[in-house]
Amino acid sequence: MAGDNSTPDVVVKTINESGEEVVVKIDGANSYGEQLQTSTKQVKEEKPFPPFDPSTFGPQLFWLAITFGVLYLLMSKIALPRIGEILEVRRDRIEGDLAEAERLRQKTEQAIENYEAELATARAQAHEIAEETRNDIKSELDEKHSEVEAELSKKLSIAEARIKETKSAALANVDEIASETLVSLISKLTGKISIKDARDIVKSVVKG
């Protein structure tokens, strides 16, 4: 068989005992136009580099198509929809739970709001009652206060009148005592003075 490779001049393909194809390439002559020599100068058994061996391409391609096709079908029809569904269900569940939590939270907030409103009302009522009571007490106190004050002022005026009376009585007595003192003084010094004259003198002095 003629070589399909450009370098060796003769390529012999044989099948050995184990059924493998053995390619023997004989580099008899170089490509400069020398005669083909029958003596094999360089004989070597050459097997192509496995990944570059075209004889393996067909079966590998065939099996790749089958296996990858099967993988694609299994993934797209069974596995991935299932995982997607699991994730979807979980997300829905989490979202549902979150919504429920939100609803409960709002409910709680509503309750708190109601409670606070009631509290405010009660507080306002209490405040009102306290105010009312305070006003009552204050008016009562005021009343009593004014009553007591009136009584006191009445007593005060009575007392004042009595003081005035006593004072004028006392003043009158003072004139009398002065006159008598004057009489006794004059009579001791000069001799005689009538009580009537003494009184007139005292009166003029007090008046003057």
Partner 1 sequence: MAGTDPIKQFDIVELFSFGTIGADAQGVGGFDLVFTNSALMMVVTVSLISGWLILTTRGRGLVPSRLQLVSEVSYEFIANMIRTSTGSEGMKFFPFVFSLFVFILISNMLGLFPYFISVSSQLIITVSLALLVMTIVIFYGVWKNGFKFLKIFVPSGIPLVVLIIVVPIEVLSFLSRPLSLSLRLFGNMLAGAIVVKVFAGFVVSLTAMGLVGIIGAILPMAMTVALTGLEVLVAALQAFVFTILTCVYLNDAIHPGH
Partner 2 sequence: MEVEAAKMIGAGIATIGMGGAGIGVGIIFGNYLSGALRNPAAAAGQFTNLIFGFAVTEALGIFSLLIALLLLFVV
Q: Which residues bind partner 2 (CB under 8 A)?
A: 7, 48-49, 52
**Is residue 14 within 8 Å of 22, Cβ to Cβ?**
yes
Shortest Å distance, C-beta 34 to partner 1: 32
Which whole-number Å values give the CA distances from 101 to 48, 87, 91, 111, in the listed order?
Answer: 69, 21, 15, 15
Cα separation, 167 vs 199, whole angstroms: 20
Which residues does 178 contact at the CB level (< 8 Å), separation at least 6? 202, 206
Query: Taking the complex as a whole, how short is the minimal distance between the CB of residue 2 and partner 2, in angstroms?
Result: 19
Q: CA–CA separation, 49 vs 33, rounded Å?
A: 29
CB of 60 to partner 2, least distance (A): 18
Work out what residue 48 binds among partner 2, partner 1, none; the CB cut-off runs from 5 to 8 Å by kind.
Answer: partner 2
Nearest to 202 by CA among 170, 173, 166, 167: 173
Q: Min. distance of Cβ 1 from partner 1 in angstroms?
A: 14
Q: Which does 135 bind (CB under 5 to 8 A by kind): partner 1, partner 2, none?
A: none
Find which of partner 2, partner 1, none residue 109 binds, CB within 5 to 8 Å per kind: none
115 binds, among partner 2, partner 1, none (CB under 5 to 8 A by kind): none
Report the residue number, 11 or 193, with the smaller CB distance to partner 2: 11
